[in-house]
A = this chain, B = another copy of it.
Amino acid sequence: MSDALLWTALADPHRRAIVALLLERPRPVGEIVEACGLSQPGTSKHLKVLREAGLVRVRQDAQRRVYALDPGPIAELDAWLAPYRTLWNTSLDALGDRLDETAPDTSEKPAPKD
């Protein structure tokens, strides 16, 4: 489908934070609310956007709704990225002076900031 939903979903920093949270483990809404410091309805809305983008799925457990990450759409993102990856692999030398901006130790832990 159109990846417009995917991009708009990930465009919001709160939603990226939620996605990062769910990368660690599935969580009920309450935990997510507390983690991202938003109101519960606001968080629910973000979760709805993420659901409609296919980024998360819900499992019902008593009154709780446990949200979990769905890797599919993120794989789509990776596919979108693929053509560009060749670009910086090949032109790494030419533009390398611009590329070494990030600290060399940023690839150790899966700790998405933001």
**B-binding residues in A (CB < 8 A):** 2-4, 7-8, 10-11, 13, 16, 23, 69-72, 74-89, 91-92, 95-96, 98-114
**Residues of B contacting A96 with CB < 8 Å?**
108
Report B-chain residues with C-beta under 8 Å of the C-beta of A102: 76, 79, 85, 89
Chain B residue numbers with a CB within 8 Å of A10 are 7, 11
State the majority secondary structure of interface residues on A: helix
Shortest CB distance A28–B (Å): 20
4 closest Cβ pairs, A-B complex: A83-B110, A71-B88, A11-B11, A74-B84
Q: How many copies of the shown chain assemble into the complex?
A: 2
Nearest to A76 among chain B residues (CB) is: B102
User: Which among B8, B72, B92, B108 is the interface contact of A106 at CB below 8 angstroms?
Assistant: B92
Using Cβ atoms and an 8 Å threshold, which residues of chain B touch A100?
A: 108-109
Across the interface, do A83 and B108 meet the contact criterion of CB distance under 8 Å? no
Q: How far apart are the CA atoms of A69 and B83 in the complex, in Å?
A: 12
